[in-house]
Amino acid sequence: MVSRHKHDPVYVISVAAQLADMHPQTLRQYDRMGLVVPARQAGGQRRYSAEDVRRLRRIQSLSRDGVSLEGIRRIVELEEEVQELRDTVSDLVDQIAVMRSHVSFSRTFTAGSSGVTTNIHGLTEPNHQHHDDAARAYREERRRQRFDRDRVEQAVMFALEQSTPRYALNRPRYALPR
């Protein structure tokens, strides 16, 4: 059995008009206006999908409520935009969920010339107490890293000062150190 998608063009104009309880000439008019534009076959015949029929029924409902054709066009356009935005929001929510599931561990984002790294620790739960604890632990770890970096820099500077040659090549050999 072949499964069909709601956007697959399957109905000829007479069947679509019957399903939407409209006259075929009305469907042609809506096509010219751009309200419902069906797919075309190679010979130019209109083929309506299940989604086109649903949209025709929506247009008919709005028309019966007294909305003008221009108003219907705008309403249908806005409803499509709202649906696209909902789909986008749904996709973004899914992406956020995936990203959150991947940041349940520490990640290194930068490494400085001194070898000191910047780590971001992801949260495993959206719990606020856990978030506060994690933030506190993160700040403490950063403080320790700064303290360690300062001590390493001091040790390196001390080692460099101690390892400078007492006599450089461009000074007299018997120059006394200052």
Q: What is the CATH number of the domain that holds 14?
A: 1.10.1660.10
Eight-state DSSP code of residue 118: E
| CA distances in angstroms from 91 to 84, 97, 98, listed in the order given | 11, 10, 11
Q: Which domain holds residue 100?
A: 9-105+134-159
Distance of CA 103 to the CA centre of its chain: 16
In this predicted model, what pLDDT tens digit does every residue of 162-176 receive, in sequence order? 665 555 555 555 555
Q: In this predicted structure, what is the pLDDT of residue 161?
A: 65
Mean residue pLDDT across the chain: 76
Q: What is the mean pLDDT of residues 73-87?
A: 91
Does the residue 73 lie in any domain?
yes
Q: How many domains does the chain have?
A: 1
Does the residue 33 lie in any domain?
yes
| pTM for the model | 0.50
The DSSP bridge pattern shows strands 106-111 and 117-121 to be antiparallel
Q: In this predicted structure, what is the pLDDT of residue 82?
A: 93
Does the residue 177 lie in any domain?
no
